[in-house]
């Protein structure tokens, strides 16, 4: 019998159908954090991630602890609304999703409860302060660098410097980027607001829009492919999208990868120019109404263990949050870089402001 179960949303409603049930939750589990979780307990995980490698982590945790995992996968915003609608009756113990902006939204809705350093010392030791909520409401599990990718036949490496410089008129008709409403762009904008303030960030957005090679369309892969095709010469994208092209079974995608260079912005100088490249996250939070918080915290700590971090890093070519954990070789080949230490909580908090600024700037 499978130890991990999955629930699928019905298309017309928020009801879920259970495809397999490994066991029922033990009675009397309680939601206190003292003592040790017991084998046979059931954790209910709502996940906005959709990677097969995550299932290997769940299985390894069950093998190690005997704690079963039931999980639901859907878009993060739908999961947040589902937990809100379920209220005090929500069966969810944990929300796992991508982007600090979505974690901030869930926390703003009051869905999370704090986890202290006394409850989870390994979690605090592994996750840097800028990659977790100040009061422990959520924690990063992996990192995603949003960087400049360029057509090696059109751009010289020496011409590149900072995110801010992408608004320079020298890049007229050359920038490729997805919609402003995309959460990755909103979080980048949120960091710029934290660094420069609203007025300068709006000015930057206006300059960026003036430099668009085309109106935004498609995902990060579409930007990279268009850059390789010469539609523009610079794309803003997350590194793991490029690594996927490097590993692709499609010859045209591998050929596109060969045409693209990677530049990590904001590496040189003092102040904002040298703050490091923007890093977003996947992360997790403990639901306020969890009835299995001891097991949930044990799972959260397991997710930052060397074993689990290796699976995270390899499975979706993301950067591990645990210092010293091995990188996927194809990701490592892109090079080392200095990361921005601007708080993920800060750029999550600024998402809504960023969207307003981008709209005014004409970035649709």
Domain span at 318 = 4-143+280-328
pLDDT, tens only, 293-335: 999 999 999 999 999 999 888 888 999 999 999 899 999 999 9
Let me know whether 23 and 13 are in one domain: yes
Let me know whether 138 and 192 are in one domain: no
CATH number of the domain residue 194 falls in: 3.40.190.10
Let me know whether 150 and 293 are in one domain: no
Which segment of 24-33, 123-132, 191-200 scores lowest on mean pLDDT? 24-33
pLDDT, tens only, 156-184: 999 999 999 999 999 999 999 999 999 99
Let me know whether 173 and 89 are in one domain: no
Let me know whether 125 and 243 are in one domain: no
Q: Which of 297, 351, 244, 240 is nearest to 114 (CA)?
A: 297
Cα distances (angstroms) measured from residue 285 to each of 133, 136, 182: 9, 8, 22
Q: How confident is the model at residue 36 (pLDDT cuts 50, 70, 90)?
A: low
Q: Which of 48, 202, 194, 54 is nearest to 130 (CA)?
A: 194
Let me know whether 152 and 292 are in one domain: no
Let me know whether 30 and 151 are in one domain: no
Let me know whether 138 and 196 are in one domain: no
pTM of the complete model: 0.88
Q: Is 44 helix (H, G, I), strand (E, B) or coil?
A: strand
């Amino acid at each position: 019998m499978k130890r991990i179960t999955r629930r699928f949303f019905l298309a017309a409603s928020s009801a879920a159908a259970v495809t397999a049930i490994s066991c029922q939750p033990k009675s009397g589990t309680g939601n206190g954090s003292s003592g040790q979780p017991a084998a046979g307990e059931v954790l209910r995980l709502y996940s906005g991630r959709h990677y097969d490698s995550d299932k290997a982590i769940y299985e390894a945790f069950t093998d190690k602890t005997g704690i079963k995992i039931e999980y639901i996968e859907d878009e993060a915003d739908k999961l947040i609304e589902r937990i809100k609608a379920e209220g005090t009756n929500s069966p969810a113990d944990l929300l796992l999703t991508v982007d600090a902006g979505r974690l901030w939204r869930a926390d703003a809705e009051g869905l999370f409860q704090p986890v202290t350093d006394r409850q989870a010392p390994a979690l605090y030791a592994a996750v840097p302060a800028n990659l977790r909520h100040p009061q422990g409401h959520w924690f990063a599990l992996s990192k995603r660098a949003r960087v400049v990718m360029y057509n090696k036949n059109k751009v010289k490496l020496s011409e590149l410097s900072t995110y801010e410089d992408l608004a320079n008129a020298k890049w007229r008709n050359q920038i490729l980027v997805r919609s402003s409403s995309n959460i990755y762009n909103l979080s980048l904008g949120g960091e710029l607001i934290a660094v420069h303030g609203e007025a300068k960030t709006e000015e930057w957005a206006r300059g960026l829009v003036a430099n668009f090679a085309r109106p935004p369309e498609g995902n990060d892969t579409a930007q990279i492919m268009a850059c390789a095709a010469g539609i523009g010469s610079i794309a803003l994208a997350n590194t793991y999208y490029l690594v996927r092209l490097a590993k692709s079974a499609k010859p045209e995608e591998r050929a596109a990868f060969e045409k693209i260079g990677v530049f990590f912005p904001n590496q040189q100088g003092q102040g904002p120019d040298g703050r490091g490249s923007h890093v977003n996250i996947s992360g997790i939070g403990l639901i306020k109404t969890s009835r299995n918080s001891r097991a949930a915290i044990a799972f959260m700590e397991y997710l930052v263990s060397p074993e689990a971090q290796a699976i995270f890093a390899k499975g979706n070519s993301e950067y591990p949050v645990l210092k010293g954990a091995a990188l996927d070789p194809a990701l490592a080949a892109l090079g080392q870089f200095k990361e921005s230490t601007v708080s993920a909580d800060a750029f999550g908090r600024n998402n809504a402001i960023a969207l307003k600024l981008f709209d005014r700037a004409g970035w649709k």
